[in-house]
Amino acid sequence: MLVKRRGRLKQIARWGIGTLAVGLVAIQFVPYGHDHTNPPVTRESNWDSPQTRELAARACFDCHSNQTDWRWYTNIAPFSWYIQHDVDDGRRQLNFSQWDQPQREARGAPNEVQRGKMPPPEYLPVHPEAKLTDDERQALVAGLRATVANDPPPTPARGPGSGDRPPGGNNRPPGG
């Protein structure tokens, strides 16, 4: 009886592993997360110093610029989906390569770095160069503040059709 049970468990395990392997191969054909073209840089911010730019390039540019370093593992689903989503969202929030366009999080970026939220902890194990010392973190915070103060990105357009929230304290996003 015990031998039959072990044989059955082995068969189930083989089927499970086989199904998982087929599934992992199949998801590689989903097109999302494989287009790794970087859009052109339209205007980079006027950095307060070369040190600030170097620190931002090390710690921020992969998600917050059009100069993403698409490493080999960014082509393997499901990791490619997660990374593509993070890069798309990061560029939407703050993009140092499109300083000629409004940047929603430009003023808040120094605070995010200071609080240790950026770069995100899950990013650091595969990007050890992005790990900042305390001195580097403070230098980046001060440099980002100076950069945004001296060269602010354009403010978003106001008025009908600009994507603003309706008056009257409704804090829900449009359609939400």
C-alpha 124, offset from chain centre: 12
1-16 mean pLDDT: 81
| Of 32, 140, 30, 41, nearest in space to 83 by CA | 32
Domain extent listing, the chain: 50-150
Residue 102 in contact with residue 78, Cβ under 8 Å?
Answer: no
Q: What pTM did the predictor assign?
A: 0.75
Q: What is the mean pLDDT of the chain?
A: 86
Q: Dihedral, CA atoms, 173, 56, 136, 114, nearest 10 degrees?
A: -10
pLDDT in tens, 100-145: 999 999 999 999 999 999 999 999 999 999 999 999 999 999 999 9
SS3 51: helix
C-beta neighbour count of 99 within 10 angstroms: 22
Q: With bands split at pLDDT 50, 70 and 90, how would you rate the model's confidence at 176?
A: very low
Given CA atoms 133, 145, 114, 97 in this order, what sign does their dihedral have?
Answer: negative
Question: Which residues lie across from 43 on neighbouring strands?
Answer: 98
More reliable by pLDDT, 160 or 29: 29
Residue 68 in contact with residue 36, Cβ under 8 Å?
Answer: yes
